[in-house]
Each structure stands twice: as C-alpha cells, then as structure tokens.
Amino acid sequence: MTAQIRVDREKCSGHARCFAVDPDLFPIDESGYVTVRVQDVPSGQEDAAAAGALACPEGAITISAPGTSDVAE
C-alpha cells in the first residue's frame, strides 16, 4: 500500500516549515497554512515526505501506511 501524508488542520498554524522542505509535497495557502489534508506519497518521495513531517513544530503531520506504524508524531 502507498504511504499517506495526513495533516491535522486544527494543529497547522502556518509555520510553513514543511513547505520549506518540499513545496510540491506540502503546498500552502497565501497565509502559509498547508492545504493538504490526506494525500498519497508519490513513489520515491518517501524521504522528503518524512522530512516534511519531522519539520513541523506543531507535530501536525503524520506519514502513515496501512499495516505499518506511523512515523513522526
């Protein structure tokens, strides 16, 4: 199964640190809040997705795949 980016939009506070890691995986709105809610991680971009999740000061991003444990918070 494909890994997924999951963003807790309640927690996102517009730091845009995920955007700084990878602007394509983590697009933002005009104020800096990530616009992704749930999105498949494209093949080969697992590391960038994980780095983006780990860059979030709020711990708002998780990378998950069914059958595997979540990384980040």
Partner 1 sequence: MTSTQSESRSDPRAGYNFRDTSPDYVLDPFVATNDLRIGQAFWTDSWGGFWTLTNGKDVRDCLQDAELFSSSGGFGIPAREKDTRIIPLELDPPEHGKYRQALGAFFGPKAVALLEGPLRQAAGGLIDEFLPDGRCEFISQFAAKFPTSAMVATLGLPVDDTAKFVQWNHDFLHHHSIGDQSEGGELSAAQRIENYLTEAVETRREAPRDDLITRLLKAEIDGRSITTEEAVSIAFQLFIAGLDTVTAVLGRSFLYLAQNQSDLAQLVADPALTTGAVEEMLRLFPIAIVTRTATRDVEFAGVSIRKGDRVLIDMDFWNRDTAEFADPNHCDFARTHNRHITFGAGRHRCLGSHLARLEVTIAMEEFHKRIPRYRLDEQAPPVPYADLVRGVNELTLLWDTK
Cα–Cα distance, 72 to 28 (Å, whole number): 20
The answer to whether residue 8 forms part of the interface with partner 1 (CB under 8 A) is: no
At 29, the amino acid letter reads D
Min CB(55)–partner 1 separation in Å:
6
Measured from the CB atom, the residue of 42 and 59 that comes closer to partner 1 is: 59
Q: Which two tokens stand for residue 4?
A: 């997924």
From edge to edge, which strands make up the β-sheet containing 4-7? 38-40, 4-7, 61-64
The answer to whether 57 contacts partner 1 (rule: CB under 8 A) is yes
Report the residue number, 6 or 17, with the smaller CB distance to partner 1.
Answer: 17
Residue 7 in tokens:
């963003």
Q: Is 6 in the site for partner 1 (CB under 8 A)?
A: no
Residues near partner 1, by CB under 8 A: 11, 13-17, 19, 28-33, 51, 54-59
